[in-house]
Structure 1
Amino acid sequence: MPVPRKMLQVPPGALRRNQLSKIARREFVRRAGRWAGTAALAPSLPGLAACTGRAVASGAAAAGTGYGPLRPAGPELALPDGFSYAVLGVEGQPMSDGRPTPRAHDGMGLFPVSDDVVRLVRNHEDQDPPGVAVPLVSPELAYDPLAGGGTTTLEVRIEADGSPTLLRDFVSAGGTLINCAGGTTPWRSWLTCEETTFGRGRGWSVPHGYVFEVPADADEPVAAEPIREMGRFVHEAIAVDPATGFVYETEDYNRRAGFYRFRPHVPGSLRDGGALEMLAVRDAPQVDLRTDQRPGEWRGVEWVPIENPDPPDAERRATTVWEEGYEAGGARFSRLEGCWHADRSIYFHATNGGDAQLGQVWRYVPEEEALALVFESPSEDVLAGPDNLTVSPRGGILICEDNSGATHLRGLSPAGEIFSFARNLLNSREFAGACFSPDGRTLFINIQGDTISMGPGNLGLTLAIWGPWERGPL
């Protein structure tokens, strides 16, 4: 059923504090249109919700062929015929700044520099404990000089055939902990998110569990400063609606996860503060969306306020923020991870949601304040543990699978067909950080590797994939 169109509803008083002038509002709208670029729209995606329910019910979802069978294209990946890849940024490899490439490659965002040059800002989900972790930056730039997580930036030229040439790479932020998915902003920054609420009780020098902003155009490490009003919880990913500047956030906690939005007082300036809220389903307070959901069924939503986004007891109870929202009527998900803006919508994953506990894909439409389940996995052969996601310029969803067995990149077409696009041949470590170049010629992707120094030796690495995308829905 199509979503009925209506005017965007802004809660009374939503922008009262630090009220924007009319000139500032016009400037933000003008900039947002420029920032949105090619990633803002994927007009074929609305058909997903209508047809996915039939695909899952009939088992047809498992039959998708996409780009054809996968064959080894090298030691790291199996890909469809005609596709090639190159390896960039291997863990331990010296970077342009002389530092070794950090471990645990995770979320990643792309920023155009010119017609053929892009920048990638990449998270590193280092989980080494205090005293073992190796900081990426000097103490004066680190949020926590004991923590080994942070971000690196890669500048890449994309050749005419879609193949990449790495121009330079360097550390861009450090002193953070367990940096997971994150997301890009339309004003050319990367929001890197901590997937933990550990703090002094675990030996760290400061509390953790925050969002940090890294300018995409920075040519050297920046000081890491937490944006506390965006919440202290087990963060995963973010996506920004360029029409409003609202930031949507996912929470990766099993059985107790919320979908949040941050309404900044000044769109595009997150450090000026704002209001954190949690999604609730209208007329269904505390609804449980983990199971028993029907794909294609639209629900009206509203938002409940989080009065204390930075609770002091979050280290002891990682779900403190969620508990406040849930008590006010917020909705319950399980392990929300990837999050992406496209087609005037926010798409996000529940990694172990669904009746089979194998994953759900949700779509939220801000202009309509409407939510629908657009895909739910019925079996491991179809999809197991969707994590990061991206939407291609051609209008298909690419899903990074996080599964203890064989790990795949899965494609989900606008017609509701799911198919395997790539398989990790190295190990069972997850895919992460998927993002397409603006013209859709090149896909950048990470294989995470070990998140601790005492791991079995799986190296994190970044890859670029190119080939005949026009043959299929990606």
Structure 2
Amino acid sequence: MTSSRRNFMKTIGAGAMVAPLATLFARTAGAAPSFGPGFGALSPVLPLNTEELFVEGAFDLRNRPLLSLPPGFRYWAISCTGQTMSDGSLVPGDHDGMACFPGPRATTVLVRNHELSNRETKYGNQKGVDVAAGYKFDTYANGGTTTLVLDQSGRLLRDYASLGGTNNNCAGGPTPWGSWLTCEESTSLPNASLSTYQQRHGYVFEVPALADGPTQAMPILGMGRFNHEACAVDPRTGVVYQTEDTGDSLFYRYVPHHRGRLLDGGTLQALRLKDFPAGANTAKNFLGTLHQPLAVEWVDISDPDPLDNGLANSTRGQGQALGAARFARGEGAWYGDGRVYFCCTSGGEISAGQVWAYDPQRETVTLVVESTDRSVLEAPDNITVGPDGRLYMFEDGGGGNNIVGLNRSGELFRVAENAVNGSEFCGGCFSHDGRFMFVNIQSPGITLVVEGPWRKGQP
């Protein structure tokens, strides 16, 4: 293990995860565990269907390793930009956030975002996410979602466009009632000209996972209009927690009037640290609070749907005026172990990333990871909890992108590396039986199924 890795592991210490990894918080914060072995050393591996990785006019990746993986892992591609889907439309580009759901007859359903902005196209696909105009929120916008149905072996049965007319769909999150919340990372405003946006953007939309075709795109206005990134739902209460991708973002919660009926309205709030009622910028000077739960409270956002993009009127401007805590580019979020984990991609003393854990029962937030070495962890973006109880982070950094795990001893380990290009990993999630990890390489737009001993990892 290199000295830089040792030094980094001293900073993350114990307490990096929580119940059922609760033993971490019982350890001494200054403990310095060794670098974790994870699943073993990585080496380049060809996909099982390498001969199929050619899309005319898009790319030719035949006989090229896409991933470096530990021993005992294998993978294959199931959906690539430019391929023809079951509904006759083309797979859009810019694969991003994603979640999986158990489907009928032992199938698995994936709902996947496409981070396409306005008329952005990929490899000649002029239509982006192609649904009928009557289903679209904005006929000018090419973003949205597609849905993939897989068999028990992780092979694609059918796929289709499921939501269209939205802008820059980055991340989102699954709900416990069987839908995907897809988030617009854009606050574009309409223009009188038909050659640009016809709607205000910056909303969350709900996509039923088991719908057989496209869903009518209806913005959930009460969840706020801002640079949305990700959502995580507390299954006990139905409260939705949300991140915002800006340098001075807030961490929000949406308390719906009726659980599971988000369009019925609710209250949008932002997190405030009780010890910093006038506000705090958590991007710097919080490494000393590592593993220390900080008491929080919530402030109401009086106007969740501002008409313009001025800072004072924005949701974050309203929250900051009330002392809401600022976070450095809130991105991926995931509910697990009774907590909501969320990444701040550029947070920390060296701006290489943080991971926070919010505890809704204790009303605390805890810094559980802060990168002090970019060679170990850089720009954690999407995040999920694996079937082995470990946290998995998906990097969007400048020095090569990896999938990085964190175990209950506070040890980091790499489980995969992008071996084909410098594109980010995104949309990482696990099948309900724990057999597969699904993950996207955003460019050129490939969804992968990674099979391995996910449940047998070191605790």
Give the TM interval when normalised to the shorter protein.
0.7 to 0.9
Q: How does 1:29-428 map to 2 (within 5 A)?
A: 43-49=19-25, 53-54=29-30, 63-74=35-46, 75-114=65-104, 116-129=106-119, 134=128, 136-159=130-153, 164-201=154-191, 203-254=196-247, 256-285=248-277, 286-293=279-286, 294-314=289-309, 316-317=310-311, 320-428=314-422
CA distance in 2, matches of 1:230, 1:326: 17
Kept after mapping to 2: 8 A contact 1:444/1:464 = yes
Q: Deviations over 1:296-318 (max 9, x none)?
A: 1111110000000001112x549
Higher RCO (Cα < 8 Å, 6 or more apart) = 1
- The equivalent residue for 2:60 is none
Q: Give, in whole Å, the separation in 1 of the partners of 2:306 and 2:432.
A: 39
Deviations 1:137-163 (A, max 9, x none): 12111000011000000001123xxxx
Q: Check the 8 A contact 1:180/1:194 in 2, yes or no.
A: yes
Residues 77 and 175 of structure 1, relative CA distance in 2, 3 Å threshold: same
CA contact 2:435–2:451 (8 Å) conserved in 1: yes
CA contact (8 A) 2:107 2:151 kept: yes
| Partner of residue 34, structure 1 | none
Deviation at 1:435, TM superposition (A): 0.7
Q: Give distance in 2, aligned partners of 1:358 and 1:406.
A: 13
The letter of the residue matching 1:198 is S
* Deviation readout 1:220-242 (Å, 9 max, x if unpaired): 11110101110000000000001
For these two proteins, the number of residue pairs brought into alignment is 415
**Structure 2 portions without partners, runs of 5+:** 1-16, 47-64
Tell whether the 8 Å contact from 1:130 to 1:146 is kept in structure 2 after alignment. no
Deviation at 1:115, TM superposition (A): 7.0
Asked whether the equivalents of residues 210 and 233 of structure 1 are also in contact (C-alpha less than 8 Å), the reply is yes
Q: Alignment partner for residue 452 of structure 2, among 459, 463, 467?
A: 467
What is the alpha-carbon distance in structure 2 between the residues aligned to residue 47 and residue 327 of structure 1?
A: 38
The alignment partner of 2:80 has SS state of coil
Deviation per residue, 1:297-344 (Å, 9 max, x gap): 111110000000001112x54981101001111001110001011111
Say if 1:95 and 1:168, in contact at 8 Å, map to a contact too.
yes
Q: Write out per-residue CA displacement over residues 111-155 of structure 1, whole angstroms, 9 at most, x where no aligned residue.
A: 101473110000000125489764521211100001100000000
CA distance in 2, matches of 1:128, 1:347: 30
Root-mean-square deviation over aligned CA pairs: 2.0
Q: Which residue of 2 aligns with 1:31?
A: none
The residue matched to 1:326 in structure 2 has which SS? Answer: helix
Offset from partner CA, 1:24-60 (integer Å, 9 cap, x none):
xxxxxxxxxxxxxxxxx984333445659546xx5x5
Identity of aligned residues (%): 46
Conserved? CA contact 1:228–1:310, under 8 Å? yes
Matching residue's letter, 1:44: P
Contact 1:236 1:338 in 2 (8 A): yes
Please tell me the residue identity of whatever aligns with 1:472.
G
User: Amino acid of the residue matched to residue 210 of structure 1?
Assistant: Y
* Cα distance, 1:399–1:115 mapped onto 2, change above 3 Å: farther
Q: Runs of 5+ in structure 1 lacking a partner?
A: 1-40, 450-458
Provide the C-alpha distance between the structure 2 equivalents of 1:304 and 1:392, rounded to a whole number of angstroms.
Answer: 32
Q: Closer, same or farther in 2 for the Cα pair 1:238/1:52, shift >3 Å?
A: farther
Mapped to 1, the partners of 2:21 and 2:227 lie a distance apart of: 29
- Give the alignment's TM-score, normalised by structure 2: 0.87
d(CA) in 2 for partners of 1:206 and 1:137? Answer: 17
SS in 2 for 1:150: strand
Per the TM alignment, residue 259 of structure 1 is displaced from its structure 2 partner at its CA by: 0.3
* Aligned amino acid, residue 299 of structure 2: V
Question: Match of 2:373, as an amino acid?
Answer: S
SS in 2 for 1:180: strand
Q: Equivalent residue of 1:89, what SS?
A: strand
Q: Distance in 2 between matches of 1:122 and 1:467?
A: 22
> What TM-score, normalized to structure 1?
0.84
The amino acid that maps onto 2:389 is G
